[in-house]
Structures are given as C-alpha cells and as structure tokens.
Structure 1
C-alpha cells in the first residue's frame, strides 16, 4: 500500500517509432542517421509487381535446380524438363513436318547415294549399340563381326532396339545434315564437303551425337526458361525487345555453341568406335572454312550459331589420342584393318606398287 505522502510518478509514452531507436556504430558521428527503410532489400516496401517478381524468381530457381541433370556422355549439367509423353508427341510432330517439307525431294531407298549413306549410318549406330535403321534387310552388324557369332545378348539384335529413319534429300544448294528425334537427314549438298566416306562419317557422327545427347529436347526445355524470363521482365516493366536480345546473347547462343562442341566430341567417339579415322573430323571443318570463305552466298545452314572453325579444329585435335584409343581398343576394328591391309598388299603385288586405298592411319 502506497504511503499517503508518497510522490506520484506518471509514465510518459512516446509516439516515436521504435525503428528510430538505434545503436550508434563505431566511428559514426552522434546525431547522424541513415534511413534504410526504403532500400530494395526491405520487402515491406516492395510493390505488388516486385513481390510477384520475387515469387517467380524463387519458385523458378527451385524448379530449375530440381530439373538439372548431367549429360551421360560428357557430364555437363543442363536443365531438362520433357516428359515421356511430350517426347513422343515431339517425335511424331517432327517426323510429320520433315516428311511434309522434304518428302518430295527424298531419294528412294534403292538409290546409290541412299545406299551409301545408309551403310555409313548403320555402321555408326550398330557399332555403338544405338539401334538400327528401318530397312527390309537384316541388321548389318556382320560388316565387321563373325556372321556366325550369336547376338542373343546384343541390344542391336533385340526386337526392342531403337529404330532410326534416314532421309537423303536431293538438294545440292543446302550444305547441311541433321539428326533429330530418331531421324537422320542428309542433304546432297554436303557430300562434296565430306569428300569421302571418312568425312561423311565424321559429319554423321556429329549429327548423331546431337541426337544421343538429346539436344533437341534440351532446347525445347530451354523455351520454358525463356518464357519465364520474358514474363519476369514484363512484370517489372522492362522492354521486351531488350529482354529478348539479352536472352539470345547470354543464353541461347552460348548454349547452342556448347551443344555443338559437345556433339563434336561425342561424334568423334561414335565414328571411332565404328572404325572410322578420327582425323577426318578436324579435316572436315578445315574444308568447311575454306569453302565458306570462297562461297559467301552459299546457304551453309550447318554453320549457323556454331563455334569458330579454329576452336572446333583445335578441340578435335586434342581429342584425337582418346579417339584413336577407342578405335584401337575395338577388336572389330583391328580385324577390319587387317583385312584391308591384306587387300591393299594384294593390290600392291598385282599393280607392282603399294596401294593407299582406305587411308588407315
């Protein structure tokens, strides 16, 4: 109980915001104060657009990280988000569009050029256990193996092996080849650049390397990232044209060049496993550079968004030892080289001079 004569104290409440109470930092002059409440990291001051943009960035980052995977052949990390159902639909759509665009120009299966390209593609696919080309004849696995050897455990001989399609398009003005969604397309315009079977095998190995690494599906997945970026810059009010240009320079072109270099490496290994000379790959790109300089008006689609020739040749030359090791480690290649060597010696005895046929290294 308070004594009757005790002084009365009244507590004074202040309306001053608590955020003004602060410690004076070491070295700071007393009485100075910097208001940080309006800084960009203060979420309480964000507009609705900024909050939505932050939510998109957060959710998009989580979604991106959870859909990262490594390319089995190279170990490169990439964003991949294509369901099996979507993959099937894309394959069907791509095949239909290719037939509508090039079907009238496609050479028949019994044409000499088609048979020549068919043999090279089959050799690469079967040597690397990637499947077979759709054909009425049995798989051509016996081109370097014992025809009486059992292939019961061979994935190529399995009825569930992947079936590829081949289109040889008669168009000498298009210097191009491609492989997408299980279809290999070769334009006759690229044959002079290939020069010989080894060169064509290098080109086809590169294109099949794109298909093996599923670069088409990767590019399709990348469209989701592009859509998210354009949506984000639209929300925060940036110019769409600028965002498109930045996404092309920062995202599209670098990724495309990475895929090309990756296909170069994979393609060289695929061709080497099929007993082709790996040195043909850098030689092809050297010829491409020479032809491109001499024919600036030629529609060389094969070169769009690709790395420089110097870069590709330099990298391929560095990969030659590993590629030759792959070829030398394949007993089928050793047997084939011995057969070719015997044939060459026999031809030399007949003609009185050694033969340089096939050009084995």
Structure 2
C-alpha cells in the first residue's frame, strides 16, 4: 500500500526541473506553494523558540547581514533572469562530475522556467545571538544567521560566501528534493522489510548508502551555485575556498571515515572543487562583469 501510494503521489504531483547554474535535472514531488508553506511554518516555529535571542532589525549586526544578503539575493535575481541563457547554461558541469553530471545543453529561455519558483519567495533575514558558527535558509528564502559566524568571519566577503551557499539551497530547491528522496528511501525500506526482518540494519544501510551521500552532493552543489552568486554580487570569489578552509579548522578537519558518516563533505574537498579551473574561471568572469557594472553605476 505504501509503495503503490508513493507511486501514485509521484505520478500526480512530481515534476522534473533543472537546477540553475549546474543544469542538473532533478525530480521533486513538493509543489512550489507547498514548499513556501513549509518554509514559512519552519521559520515561524524557529523564531518562536528563539524568542528574544533574535536581534532587533536595527541592531548593527542585523543591518550589516541584511545588507550583504540583499546583495546576494539581488545578484541571484539579476543573473539568473538575465543573460544566463548565453553565458551560464552551457552544459558544463561543476568540478565534481560524480555529484553533478548534466549531459545536455539547456535550451534557450530555460532560465525563466528554472527560477519560476523564486517569484513567490518572501526573503527574510534574522540574526540570532548564539555562538554557533552557522547559518541556514529555509524554503522560501527564510535566512537565519548566528552571531558565532560573525565572530569567526570578519569581512563582508566571507559572510557573503556563507550567505551565497545558503541562498543556493533555496534556489536549487534542495529541501523539496530532499523530501522527495526521503520518500523514495522510505518506500525502499518498506520493500526490504518484506524480505529482511532487520529494521535497524536496513535503516543504517539506507542512511549510509543513500541518505548521507545525497546530502553531501547537495552541499557540493550549493557551494558551486553559491560561489557564482558571490561573484555576481561583486565579491571576490577567490575568498570562498579560504572560507571553507577556515570552516574546516573551526569544526575540526574530519577523517575519511567521519566524512562518510557526515551530511557535509570535508572542507579539503570543498576547497579543491571551488579552486577547480572550470569553476573559478567562470566565477571570475562573473566577478569582472559585476565590478564593471558597479563602476558604470558609480560614474
């Protein structure tokens, strides 16, 4: 019943979409409106739990983070809706071809379809008084930044790198894709339990063989999209690899075994992928263009 029900839901509501910047095709069941409602609910619950730890909008940290976030969000809307057809949808992959391997060139005009879901976004950024060196973005553009991140990263470009990564998750609809993936994993688990009466073993196998590798690929994709957003906003993309190096030191560089058991790839791998010539050259081209645009506006 579970498997048949899942297939019915998939047929009725599932859609194939193309992820901006990487051109990866992915399948999602959650509708755009459903994703927005999910993000709103998560964000509202989080704010209630945080209470007075949420800094006032007039607080200097809130003002600063919102200003940087506005640059990233503005760059996302501008670059994705503008000239992406010619310069970004070229069928290239990011450096980690095992994680992202689009094979076909995206059709002209595809960028509008890719970012249609952004129309309903109500971007909101809050800063929380907490020592966590972290940030997050719920579906629909709801961003939370912890003051611990601001303590470790002093420059606007470093903060923009982290914000670019979080915004990338929302742009790529990773939350909706993750929900879809978990639905498939759940159906597979139910199927296996018919033949193998070992629920704990099956849970561990599906987690380590399917769940965690998928999560790490999403983080790699968010890194890739994030550095493009960073560059499009006029921040030097060469700072991004350094940020992930620094994050690795803050969290403690993990061993291969710990990485295999983690939702995130190790900082060394993330740094190497961003330094790949295909990625950095594209980011530097966007950065040069953004700088030229800003100089033209200033004049």
Q: Greater helix percent: which structure? A: 2
Match runs of 1:198-213 below 5 Å = 198-213=157-172
Distance in 2 between residues matched to 1:236 and 1:79, nearest whole Å: 28
Deviations 1:254-300 (A, max 9, x none): 11111101000100010111100101110111112223339x9xxxx
Give the root-mean-square deviation of aligned CA atoms. 3.1
Native 8 Å contact 2:40 2:142 kept in 1: no
2:223 aligned residue (264, 289, 295): 264
For 1:176, the equivalent position in structure 2 comes to 134
How many residue pairs get matched?
A: 249
With the length of structure 2 as denominator, give the TM-score of the two structures.
0.74
Structure 2, gaps ≥5 residues long: 79-118, 255-260
Q: Compare CA radii of gyration and give the structure with the larger one.
A: 1
Match of 1:320? 280
Whether the 8 Å CA contact 1:177–1:190 is kept in 2: the answer is yes
Question: Structure 1 residue 240: deviation in Å?
Answer: 1.2
Q: Which segment drifts farther, 119-128 or 108-117?
A: 119-128
Higher relative contact order (CA 8 A, sep 6+): 2
Residue aligned with 1:82, SS: coil
Q: Provide closer, same or farther for how the CA distance between residues 235 and 63 of structure 1 changes in structure 2, counting only shifts above 3 A.
A: farther
Query: Cα distance, 1:70 vs. partner?
Result: 3.1
* Distance in 1 (alpha carbons) for counterparts of 2:120 and 2:199: 46
Matches of 1:307 and 1:293, distance apart in 2: 13
**Aligned residue in 2 for 1:290:** 249
Separation of aligned partners in 1, 2:7 and 2:167: 35
Gaps of 5+ in 1: 1-51, 131-159, 297-302, 340-361
Normalized against structure 1, the TM-score is what? Answer: 0.62
In the alignment, structure 1 residue 232 sits paired with structure 2 residue 205: no
Q: 1:221 to 1:161 in 2, by over 3 A?
A: closer
TM-aligned CA deviation for residue 161 of structure 1: 7.2
State whether structure 2 residue 56 is matched by structure 1 residue 108: yes
- The equivalences for 1:3-14 within 5 A come to none
Asked if the contact 2:127–2:144 (Cα under 8 Å) also holds between the matched residues in 1, the reply is: yes
Q: Specify the SS of the correspondent of 2:263.
A: coil
CA distance, structure 2, for counterparts of residue 176 and residue 76 of structure 1: 27
